[in-house]
Chains A and B, each alone.
Chain A
Amino acid sequence: MKSEIDHLESKIHWGMVVDLDRCTGCEACVVACRAENNVPTAGEDQAARGRAIHWLRVERYWEGEFPEARVRFRPVLCQQCEAAPCEPVCPTFASYHNPEGLNAQVYNRCIGTRYCANACPYTVRFFNFYNPVWDKPLHLQLNPDVSVREVGVMEKCTFCVQRIKAAEIQAKAEKRELKDGEFNPACVQTCPPKALIFGNLNDPESEVSKLARSNRATVLLGELNTRPNVTYLERGSWSGEEGGPASAG
């Protein structure tokens, strides 16, 4: 695939690790993501219709029957797949793969066929059913680095591409390489138990690439061969057996 050649040439390949053994399900990442990325609130009525936008969600699953029930959390965000099903189906190249391994979304190109969202197995693409509104004074806290999306446009997690670009520009200006952990997406920065780790997968010494090679590593819905750049870490399967996959709901 073209994307593979691209990131071989690039020194950088962004990736994330989600340590399910550390996640407490506190949802601080969800709040941080909203604040950073100007994610609009849908309102009670629209949320009930399934139109709430959460670029990052914490899925909650129950294991066993009450009272022996045990809760498991799984933060799910755009998996930034290498072989992303959303990319080839977009007729306007609004969804495309950038050379640094990001599954990018160009809002201005999007005409709202919603095909990408149907093709996405993780259901992490979100559609603007109406023009976004912010109740005053919330409009004052909008992040000036992130564009606000209009009605009819698809949006999703970008790995905080605005932070990536800012750091890259800064490093270039100072004529140096990016350091591991120099910056982080909002969710990673916020996570209290450090369950989220972000970095360059092409750097074998980075924390994220070390963790991604761990024997606890697994990917979500691996059987679909989407080759995600988000890796999940967990000890054993959810049912308590050793070495099972985390893909089944």
Chain B
Amino acid sequence: MEWRGGWSGERWVIPMASLDQDTLNRVDDDLLRPLMATSRRYFVASSLVGLIVLTAVAVFGYQVWRGIGVLGINRPVFWAFYITNFVFWIGISHAGTLISAILRLANATWRRPVTRCAEAITVFALSIGAMFPIIHLGRPWLFFWLVPYPSQRTIWPNFRSPLLWDFFAISSYLTGSVTFLLLPIIPDWAVVRERAHGWRKRLYRVLSLGWRGTPRQWNRLETAMHIMAVVIIPVAVSVHTIVSWDFAMAPVPMWHSTIFGPYFVAGAIFSGIAGLILAMALLRKCLHLEEYLRPLHFDNLGKLLLMMSLLWFYFIVAERLTTWYGNESSEMAVFWATQRGAFAPLFWIMVLCNFGIPFPLLAIKKLRTITGTVIASSTIVVGMWIERFLIIVPSLARKYLPYAFGSYRPTWVEITVTAGTFAAMGLLYLLFVKFVPIISIWELKVGLRATLPARAAWRQKAAPWSQCRDLRGRPNAGEAVLAANLMAKEPRE
């Protein structure tokens, strides 16, 4: 690939001569290939994960039919695997939209090949996580009683309940992140429309919503993206804070803590970046995107992950030290159960997975390679799942009156449904890459163009459209117009 440039400062360096129409076409070819052709391996992989998802759905049906007693939950451990999955997947969802919005606002140009892949994780992880408050119910067929609507029961849901706050937080975040994902896809679907034939052309004509790449459309897209990027950050922060309040609002030892809001948000971003790195590595291998998702991206995300790992370690030290020093009897029962009691093996595995292994891998420059970051991310995903489990279960198992202490062991039902969530993530992602270019084509091209010395000339030409705003909201012709010209060069019907 001709535009294989090095990284210098904050811009791609590309030999000017290489950015001709051939290169741009090759970008299209590379990124649209998964949409146009489907290999046998794809069918095998999607049937496999699809089968696991179907099994999990059937097992959930069994749970509804037999009663929730088929789970391992008991008194006093009323919440366990399902709520762990809920917190875990909502956490993973913080990869995408939040990271992407921050990188957009900071105008970090290396973000371009990463954002869509991240935003898709958000939407899928959030959808998976949001199922759990429903499927964990004793009577899941009545889940709609959580929704505020004027019903014949003449009773509203209880707005004092953190579960209601969850409902609003998650539905806002889901709406916002779906919008944030779909907006920049529109121009790409237009590219597909131009190149596809038959049913695909008809499909993408509908999906691209009449996108023609006029300056007016670009202007609106840029404005909308800018608004969404600003709005989605507080929403994302509030979502995981409210998830933490499901626990922190209850007077349960080691749940009832002021640190939980920021602790959960940090943990969410931490596991989210790890999930993103894993997804990127898989995409890179399976879709042959080595030229696009480069060591640089893994290196940069690795640095972010390193920072989050340190932050996570800081939070766990802050939480544990204040509890231990305070020496409150009911809290100490939970504390010692996790430090050196029944849950200690899990606790120390968690510390190893979230800090012990990733820290050297990410801190030492030589080790912060693609392989290094992928290993670190894998252990972090496991470690953060365990972290959520350790937040929920030990506190419930050691709650105040020793007579009512308990323990927990999952059953095959919970394990199957948990496996099903990971398969569902895979399945949704596989379907997504069939219908959407996983790297934003127009944003990538904008990035390529932006580095050309000819940029000044483009600006000159673009003078009439100077109302256009770039992603920082500055009134210059900037990237939007460049992209508009780029699109105009696309072959049309």
Q: How many A-B residue pairs have CB under 8 A?
A: 145
Residues of A within 8 A of B336 (CB): none
From A112, A122, A226, A249, B137 is in contact (CB under 8 Å) with: A112
* A127 x B138 contact (CB < 8 A): yes
Of B76, B140, B396, B403, most buried by chain A (CB within 10 Å of CB) is B403
* A112 x B139 contact (CB < 8 A): yes
* Residue A59 at the chain B interface, CB threshold 8 Å: yes
* Residue B146 at the chain A interface, CB threshold 8 Å: yes
Given A118-B250, A130-B66, does the pair A151, B399 have CB atoms closer than 8 Å?
no
In chain B, positions 236-291 with a C-beta closer than 8 Å to chain A are 246, 249-252
Q: Bound complex: CA of A92 vs CA of B246, how far in Å?
A: 15
* Residue A147 at the chain B interface, CB threshold 8 Å: no
Question: Within the complex, what minimum Cβ distance (angstroms) separates A86 from chain B?
Answer: 9
Q: Bound complex: CA of A152 vs CA of B404, how far in Å?
A: 21
Query: Which residue of A has the minimal Cβ distance to B167?
Result: A91
Q: Bound complex: CA of A76 vs CA of B400, how far in Å?
A: 13
In chain B, positions 307-335 with a C-beta closer than 8 Å to chain A are 329
* Residue B78 at the chain A interface, CB threshold 8 Å: yes
| Chain B proximity mask over A96-136: 1 for CB below 8 Å, otherwise 0 | 00000000000001111111011101110011111100000
Q: Which among B115-123, B156-164, B292-300 touches the partner chain?
A: B156-164
* Residue B432 at the chain A interface, CB threshold 8 Å: no
Residues of B within 8 A of A59 (CB): 401, 403
Given A92-B158, A119-B252, A123-B75, does the pair A130, B400 have CB atoms closer than 8 Å?
no
Given A59-B401, A109-B145, A113-B137, does the pair A89, B68 have CB atoms closer than 8 Å?
no
Query: Which residue of B has the minimal Cβ distance to A49?
Result: B74
Residues of B within 8 A of A153 (CB): 138-139
Residues of B within 8 A of A113 (CB): 133, 136-138, 163
In chain A, positions 60-112 with a C-beta closer than 8 Å to chain B are 60-61, 76, 85, 88-93, 109-112
Residues of A within 8 A of B234 (CB): none
Residues of A within 8 A of B69 (CB): 46, 51, 129-130, 151
From A57, A93, A118, A130, B78 is in contact (CB under 8 Å) with: A118
Residues of B within 8 A of A127 (CB): 75, 78, 138
* Residue B345 at the chain A interface, CB threshold 8 Å: no
* Residue A224 at the chain B interface, CB threshold 8 Å: yes
Residues of B within 8 A of A151 (CB): 67-69, 138-139
Question: Within the complex, what minimum Cβ distance (angstroms) separates A88 from chain B?
Answer: 4
Q: Bound complex: CA of A185 vs CA of B396, how far in Å?
A: 30
Q: Bound complex: CA of A249 vs CA of B332, how far in Å?
A: 13
* B67 x A224 contact (CB < 8 A): no
* Residue B62 at the chain A interface, CB threshold 8 Å: no
Given A88-B161, A119-B252, A127-B138, does the pair A111, B400 have CB atoms closer than 8 Å?
no
Given A130-B69, A152-B67, does the pair A123, B143 have CB atoms closer than 8 Å?
no
Question: Within the complex, what minimum Cβ distance (angstroms) separates B232 from chain A?
Answer: 26
* A115 x B399 contact (CB < 8 A): no
From A114, A123, A131, A248, B399 is in contact (CB under 8 Å) with: A123
* Residue B406 at the chain A interface, CB threshold 8 Å: yes
* B78 x A129 contact (CB < 8 A): no
Q: Bound complex: CA of A213 vs CA of B401, how far in Å?
A: 25
Residues of A within 8 A of B73 (CB): 114, 129
Residues of B within 8 A of A76 (CB): 401, 403
Query: Which residue of A has the minimal Cβ distance to B142?
Result: A111
Of B66, B140, B161, B163, most buried by chain A (CB within 10 Å of CB) is B161
Query: Which residue of A has the minimal Cβ distance to B74?
Result: A50
Query: Which residue of B has the minimal Cβ distance to A225?
Result: B251
Residues of B within 8 A of A122 (CB): 400-401, 404
In chain B, positions 47-90 with a C-beta closer than 8 Å to chain A are 66-69, 72-79
From B67, B68, B164, B399, A91 is in contact (CB under 8 Å) with: B164
From A57, A109, A221, B400 is in contact (CB under 8 Å) with: A221
Question: Within the complex, what minimum Cβ distance (angstroms) separates A79 from chain B?
Answer: 11
Given A109-B155, A248-B329, does the pair A92, B146 have CB atoms closer than 8 Å?
yes
Question: Within the complex, what minimum Cβ distance (angstroms) separates B396 from chain A?
Answer: 6
* Residue B6 at the chain A interface, CB threshold 8 Å: no
| Chain A proximity mask over B18-59: 1 for CB below 8 Å, otherwise 0 | 000000000000000000000000000000000000000000
Q: Bound complex: CA of A60 vs CA of B402, how far in Å?
A: 10
* A92 x B157 contact (CB < 8 A): yes
Q: Bound complex: CA of A91 vs CA of B144, how far in Å?
A: 11
In chain B, positions 367-407 with a C-beta closer than 8 Å to chain A are 396, 399-404, 406-407
- What are 11 A-B pairs with beta-carbon distances under 8 A? A59-B401, A60-B403, A89-B250, A92-B146, A112-B68, A113-B137, A119-B251, A129-B68, A150-B139, A151-B69, A221-B401
